[in-house]
């Protein structure tokens, strides 16, 4: 494994285990705000939180639900489950798939172009940026707009959603939904492990002997998730008064998902996620997928958040404990400029 792994305080990576709200309880209260909308959810797979998000959205009669993933087969499995669910009404809800790899700027641009080609007046009411990767044990890269290598966690968790969201802003601004359109982007309590160090030294994102030697998988993950918080902050400011609201989500630690599949078992044990025999640690503050996705539903639909654009939703409530470096508007603007450079396009609203 490249570089040392810092062992974070597990309580800072998860919501408390006593979270009482679930996706169903929140959605029941917000049903009237969910019906009839067009929604995109990224990172949808049968074993991830995207599937639970898709389930609860589909249950409340959207007009169009677009499920996005780099794997068409995984999307197909989720769609089959949704259509087979009791109460699903195909005359009310259309479910479609969208193939997109958030690690590839080319794939992102092609996916958004396909939506616009299908309907030049495509209007989007809710975008849930759920896709992400976690703690890649080795330094890996993805290409930036110029084809130069970029650290993969930053490229997938921050740059991918940054580009995807900005390319969809015209569709979001065409939304006729009462109360406006929503962008809900999944961050992590793990952001507390690192600010966006690339703002001081962009070279840490590049493939050099020095960056490979210094690579820390948790800090790289944390940096990318701080990026999500700062992107949300900047997006909220740039779209203020334009009918689009942006929120970040801390999903908490959900033991049943496959997000940690790239984290070596010895590291999961060192972090306290797993017992010596490899089973989930019963005292770790894991929550259920339904408890986690309660925050998704809150961020994506709750009208009481209209004056809280830019906020982070944790345990289905506004999180007032976000660290200063993740809510600094100056850093948010600097990261926006760096992100535009990486995607090779400026976005001004």
| pTM, full prediction | 0.91
User: If we measure between CA atoms, which residue out of 174, 168, 139 comes closest to residue 154?
Assistant: 139
Q: Would residue 36 count as lying in a domain? A: yes
What is the arrangement of strands in the sheet containing 317-318, beginning at the earlier edge strand?
A: 94-99, 64-69, 38-41, 126-129, 181-186, 244-250, 312-314, 317-318
pLDDT tens readout for residues 128-181: 999 999 989 899 999 999 999 999 999 999 999 999 999 999 999 999 999 999
Q: What is the mean pLDDT of residues 224-243?
A: 98
Instruction: Answer left, alpha or beta for residue 71, where phi above 0 means left and psi between -120 and 50 means alpha.
Output: beta
pLDDT tens readout for residues 71-91: 999 999 999 999 999 989 999
pLDDT tens readout for residues 13-34: 444 445 679 999 999 999 999 9
What totals of helices (H) and strands (E) does the chain contain, helices first? 11, 10
Q: Would residue 4 count as lying in a domain? A: no
CB under 8 Å to 260, separation ≥6 — which residues?
134, 135, 268, 273
CB 105 within 8 A of CB 143: yes
Alpha-carbon distance of 313 to 298, in angstroms, equals 8
pLDDT tens readout for residues 49-61: 999 999 999 999 9
CB 144 within 8 A of CB 150: yes
CB 286 within 8 A of CB 14: yes
Out of 7-21, 260-274, 303-317, the most confident range is: 303-317
pLDDT score of 224: 98
Q: Would residue 56 count as lying in a domain? A: yes
Q: Would residue 204 count as lying in a domain? A: yes
pLDDT score of 266: 75
Helix (H, G, I), strand (E, B) or coil at 183: strand
Q: Would residue 3 count as lying in a domain? A: no
Q: Would residue 312 count as lying in a domain? A: yes
Q: Residue 272: which CATH number?
A: 3.40.50.720
Alpha-carbon distance of 34 to 50, in angstroms, equals 17
Q: Alpha carbon 212 to chain centroid distance?
A: 26
pLDDT score of 12: 46
Q: Would residue 108 count as lying in a domain? A: yes
Q: Would residue 1 count as lying in a domain? A: no
**Tokens coding 146:** 């110029």
Helix (H, G, I), strand (E, B) or coil at 313: strand
Q: Alpha carbon 305 to chain centroid distance?
A: 19
Q: What is the mean pLDDT of residues 216-221?
A: 93
pLDDT score of 285: 67
Q: Are strands 149-151 and 141-143 parallel, antiparallel or unpaired?
A: antiparallel
Residue 267 has pLDDT above 90, yes or no: no
pLDDT score of 14: 42
Alpha-carbon distance of 145 to 214, in angstroms, equals 25
Q: How many domains does the chain have?
A: 1
**What are the DSSP E strand ranges found in 206-282?**
244-250
pLDDT score of 17: 41
pLDDT score of 24: 97
Residue 153 sits in which domain range?
10-343
pLDDT score of 149: 98
Alpha-carbon distance of 1 to 86, in angstroms, equals 46
User: If we measure between CA atoms, which residue out of 294, 312, 63 comes closest to residue 189?
Assistant: 312
Average pLDDT along the chain: 91
User: If we measure between CA atoms, which residue out of 336, 291, 339 comes closest to residue 315?
Assistant: 291
**Tokens coding 42:** 């990224």
């Amino acid at each position: 494994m490249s570089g040392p792994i810092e062992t974070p305080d597990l309580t800072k990576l998860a919501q408390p285990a006593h979270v009482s709200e679930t996706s169903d309880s929140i959605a029941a209260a917000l049903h009237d705000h969910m019906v009839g909308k067009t929604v995109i959810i990224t990172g949808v797979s049968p074993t991830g939180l995207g599937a639970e998000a898709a389930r609860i959205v589909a249950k409340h009669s959207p007009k169009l639900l677009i499920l996005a993933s780099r794997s068409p087969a995984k999307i197909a499995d989720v769609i089959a489950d949704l259509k087979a669910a009791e109460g699903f009404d195909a005359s009310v809800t259309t479910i479609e798939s969208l193939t997109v790899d958030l690690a590839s700027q080319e794939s992102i641009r092609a996916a958004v172009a396909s939506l616009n080609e299908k309907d030049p007046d495509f209007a989007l009411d809710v975008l849930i940026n759920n896709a992400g990767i976690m703690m890649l044990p080795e330094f890996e890269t993805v290409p930036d707009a110029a084809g130069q290598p970029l650290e993969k966690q930053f490229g997938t968790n921050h740059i991918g959603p940054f580009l995807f969201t900005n390319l969809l802003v015209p569709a979001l601004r065409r939304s006729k939904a009462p109360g406006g359109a929503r962008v809900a982007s999944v961050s992590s309590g793990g952001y507390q492990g690192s600010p966006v160090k690339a703002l001081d030294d962009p070279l840490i994102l590049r493939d050099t002997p020095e960056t490979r030697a210094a690579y820390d998988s948790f800090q790289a993950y944390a940096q990318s998730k701080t990026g999500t918080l700062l992107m949300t902050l900047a997006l909220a400011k740039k779209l203020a008064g334009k009918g689009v609201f942006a929120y970040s989500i801390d999903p908490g630690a959900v033991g049943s998902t496959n997000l940690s599949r790239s984290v070596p078992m010895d590291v999961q044990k060192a972090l306290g996620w797993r017992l010596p025999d490899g089973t989930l640690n019963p005292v770790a503050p894991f929550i259920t997928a339904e408890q986690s996705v309660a925050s998704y539903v809150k961020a994506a639909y709750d009208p009481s958040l209209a004056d809280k654009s830019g906020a982070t939703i944790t345990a289905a409530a506004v999180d007032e404990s976000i660290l200063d470096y993740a809510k600094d508007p100056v850093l948010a603007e600097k990261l926006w400029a760096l992100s535009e450079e990486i995607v090779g396009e400026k976005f001004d609203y």
